[in-house]
Chains A and B, each alone.
Chain A
Amino acid sequence: MTKISLTVDGVAYTDDVEPRTLLVHYLREQLGKVGTVVGCDTSNCGACTVDLGGQSVKSCTVLAVQADGGEVTTIEGIEHDGVLDPMQQAFHENHALQCGYCTPGMIMACRDLLKNNPKPSEDEIREGIEGNLCRCTGYQNIVRAVQAVAGASS
């Protein structure tokens, strides 16, 4: 076991973890942060995407020990005082989710995309989130949601 200390959604935690424990499993099973989900074993689907130190990561490709000392933001930490994050709001407004399973990772990836490229073209959006799979929406309304946030922030 290895001791790690990190902040998740604004709360400080110190825990013992097995060195092999993936960040996503730490989040779900030790912290109860079950808003972040697992969709594959191969880092293809992106359902587990979270923000680690200002950068979006697939939390299934990060060991919990690698997040030691870091700051993690999950889907559960971006609504503040009852006000949705603009990307959450845009997903709702644009019907950018159906079953909702990919949604936590997708929203985190879309926020990261706009942080790096505030005014993306449609092609840039599609390429920017291609690491996150959605089986329900055909992506069109997800693209619209991102465009809506990008347009609103101009």
Chain B
Amino acid sequence: MTAVEDRPVTAEIGQSRKRKEDYHLITGRTTWTDNMNLPGMVHLAILRSPMAHAKITSINTDEAKGRPGVIAVYIGQDFAETQGNLPCAFAPEGLVNPGAPSLAVGQVNHVGEAVAVVVARTKVEAQDALEGVEVEYEQLPAVLNMEEAIKDGADLVHPNTESNRSYTWAFESGAAGSGEPIEDALSNAEVTVKRRFIQQRLIPAFMEPRSTVVQPIGEGVTMWSATQIPHVLRTLLAATLGIAEQKVRVVAPDVGGGFGGKIVVTPEEVITTLVARKLNKPVKYTESRSESLMSAHHGRDQIQDITITAKKDGTVTGLDVHLLADMGAYLRLFGPSVPVLGAFMFNSIYKFAAYRFVCEGIFTNKTATDAYRGAGRPEATFAIERIMDELANELGMDPMDLRRKNWIKHEEFPFTTVAGLTYDTGNYEAATDKALALIGWDELRREQAERRERKDPIQLGLGISTFTEMCGLAPSRILGSLAFGAGGWEHASIRMLATGKVEVVTGSSAHGQGHETAFAQIVADKLGVAWEDIELIHGDTQSSPKGLDTYGSRSLAVGGIAIVKAAEKVVAKAQKIAAHLLEADEDDLEFEGGSFKVKGSPGSTIAMGEIAFATFLGHNLPDGVEPSLDSDATYDPENFSFPHGTHLCAMEVDTDTGFTKIRKYVCVDDIGTPINPLIIEGQVHGGLAQGIAQAMFEEAVYDEAGNLTTGTFVDYTLPSSSDLPSFTTARTETASTTNPLGVKGVGEAGTIASTPAVVNAVVDALRPYGVDDVQMPMTPERVWRAIHGSEKSERAGAGTTAYGGASTTTSDGEGGAL
């Protein structure tokens, strides 16, 4: 017996319900934090450091204080004793955390760091008065290059650390007992391919700039903030500022996208709280886009040195991964854990005998990094899917044949990987076959051969990404073993109202994902109540008091299961009352379609709504039964879920100009049992856009002085509608067996899978030109240089100053096997 076989036939689950959330969003009746005005509210503007690394020698605020409308000006010293340090939830043994002030005290460590705040009657007055704050800096050498940063004698980002290395986190399969020693694989290898891949720095770039309103109330505060994590924020704000947790209420009203970018406790949230408490007035701070791009956390930014070993027949044997991960200047909430999440994913769907993962987290004078859609898993997926193509090229094998030879076959599940995770289910063959058929792979290969034959200036490349991911963060015990300061459970309550309507309270706080719609579909089926009669309550720690919020594709796979468990308790409570009202034995009842029926007595039924009303009245309940059907559940998953899929990209490359264009993009995702296919498709589309954007368009670039040169949307180039094609999306359904819905999660799949498919397609197009890598983003210039320059790999990988020109190298310096 499995959870899958038990699943009942359902009416709402699987339907493409249009979203309940939409009406207020399409009519402009929104509750973005910046829309909020409170009586007596004052406004903040933040003066930010123009220096990447400097001592603050003096700050004079006198002129600013005299400007019209200015109420107060504060600098770091004013809050030095009260602001604490911004929290970091990941603390493996030996991790060095130099501390993270919200408002700089004595030193700035990245451009954009908050140096002073002006409080004024209006936002405009506050911003104008920033000009009146005079700051003198003594410049320090900017630490920007990770490899230089960890050399002996390197300049230090922080005066209170001995090196720029925050931590080293290592896993090795021989030592862990999950596989053979990596050294055996390396020394016995018949074929070895080494590559260096650059995961450029990205910016989450949610469309709603971050905004925070804080209202002091007695000893506590109410905070409205554009955050993904109202519950986590409440606890950590209380801990950071020494406010009693029960005195803190956090509300996440309408939140305009997050993608990981709103997953941390921010300096601005702390500063706004400090000012509000100091003045005992409500305070609002809303960032500009430029402030957002330079001070809200960034993502990715890794140098990946990857070694893969194999037999000559293509059987992979070992994978050796060494990462340098840029933390930026400070450790944010999940920052150092992000690359470590990838530790379990580099081996992906393949049966490696040996595996090693070593990650060094490094401080630089740049904006802090933290989660960005996928968080550690896109980086891992990129590296393995790129190196599999390089290995295939080295072996002269078809890249899909190489994958088929090495992936876990569907009959081998459950399968414990060399990284120690147990994948419950999967069917890589089915997803791949479907994707190949949808894109017309063989026909495209023929066209590619023809274009190569006739030396067509437009070459065609075909890229593959057969990926998996770990979703549903996360089993609390595993988080504990990884030294996280939090669990991974989620909470739900179901309240049955007198009229038979239902309120569902979740701790998973949505910001665009469609929880109100999809969670109502689940409850409708579980309770037999109309979908329209179900209301979701979320995003306010006063009305949804318990939860761990939204990230890591966890809402459905963890939060959704908590709702199922709560619904089961409602039904169990209702069954007792139904039996009493029907004058039947409880065991003789069956629950179907929202009604309890007495088995074998067709006329004897009572609907959930009737039971709810009877319970509300309380006139005729069985002895000892409380007059309530309301139920809570807190669900801690036993395992991650493992969505997978096959993404294929056909790319046209103009060899004269370096311009690339996606001809066709097909993905077949297996996310288990679908709840709402419409929402799923939307999640996949958006994920693809972000993953493709990493491959082709986006990079946060710093100049040699540590200035972010991509500090507006003019320079940080989000894809527009004309940059992207229409995608062909499809699904296979291999239900997860570790949760009663059979769901896996879909929020990050498109982003995790797509980046290597796109790069593999460009490299595939250019193999005849001797190209074996093009660094991301694959701008036309980089592609053109890859084709036409003299040193193929070096020029294609020509880095920005951020990486000191880091580029792809191979084990023999020429492109291949030892």
Contact = CB atoms under 8 A, between A and B. Distances in A.
A129 B209 CA distance: 21
Given A95-B682, A100-B30, A138 B727 contact: yes
A118 interface: no
14 contacts: A34-B30, A41-B290, A42-B712, A92-B19, A95-B19, A95-B679, A101-B207, A101-B208, A104-B28, A133-B720, A138-B686, A138-B689, A140-B727, A143-B721
A107 B288 CA distance: 23
A40 B711 CA distance: 11
Q: Shortest 8 CB-CB distances between A and B: which pairs?
A: A35-B28, A101-B256, A100-B25, A99-B512, A138-B685, A138-B689, A44-B713, A75-B28
Contact of A40 (B25, B256, B289): B289
Given A40-B713, A42-B713, A126-B722, A35 B512 contact: no
A99 B257 contact: yes
Interface string A132-151: 11111111111100000000
A74 B26 CA distance: 11
A47 interface: yes
B23 A92 contact: yes
A42 B713 CA distance: 7
A41 B288 contact: yes
B714 interface: yes
Interface residues of B, number: 56
A61 to B, nearest CB: 13
A70 interface: no
B512 A40 contact: no
A34 B32 contact: yes
Contact of A35 (B27, B124, B690): B27
Count class of interface residues, chain A: 35 or more
Given A95-B19, A95-B679, A39 B27 contact: no
Contacts of A126: 721-722, 724
A75 B254 CA distance: 17
Interface in B682-700: 682-683, 685-690
B147 interface: no
B259 interface: yes
Contacts of B289: 39-42, 45
Interface string A37-73: 1111110110100000000000000000000000000
Contact of B685 (A36, A84, A141): A141
A41 B208 contact: no
Contacts of A133: 207, 713, 718, 720
A94 to B, nearest CB: 9
A44 B727 contact: no
A139 B512 contact: no
Contacts of A81: none
Contacts of B148: none
B151 interface: no
Given A38-B34, A97-B22, 14 more contacts: A75-B26, A91-B22, A91-B26, A92-B18, A100-B22, A100-B254, A101-B206, A101-B208, A103-B25, A132-B721, A134-B207, A135-B257, A135-B689, A140-B726
Contacts of B206: 99, 101, 135
B69 interface: no
A98 B714 CA distance: 24
Nearest to B32: A37
Contacts of B208: 37, 39, 99, 101
Main SS at interface, chain B: loop
Nearest to B208: A101
A134 B21 CA distance: 17
A39 B718 CA distance: 13
A138 B26 contact: no
Contacts of B21: 100
Contact of B26 (A38, A84, A130): A84
Nearest to B514: A98
B255 interface: yes
Given A34-B35, A140-B727, A92 B22 contact: yes
Interface of A: 18, 28-29, 33-42, 44-45, 47, 74-76, 79, 84, 88, 91-93, 95, 97-104, 107, 122-123, 125-127, 129-143
Contacts of A37: 30, 32, 34, 208, 256
Nearest to A37: B32
B257 A136 contact: yes
A92 B17 CA distance: 10
A33 B35 CA distance: 9
B678 interface: yes
Contact of A39 (B26, B28, B207, B726): B207
A45 B207 contact: yes
B689 to A, nearest CB: 4
A29 B682 CA distance: 33
Nearest to A88: B26
A76 B28 contact: yes
B455 to A, nearest CB: 28
Given A92-B19, A140-B727, A47 B207 contact: yes
A140 B27 CA distance: 21
B619 interface: no
Given A75-B28, A135-B259, A98 B688 contact: no
Interface in B738-790: 750
A99 B207 contact: yes
Interface in B627-676: none
A141 B682 contact: yes
Contacts of B288: 41
Interface string B9-43: 00000000011011101111110101100000000
Nearest to A78: B27
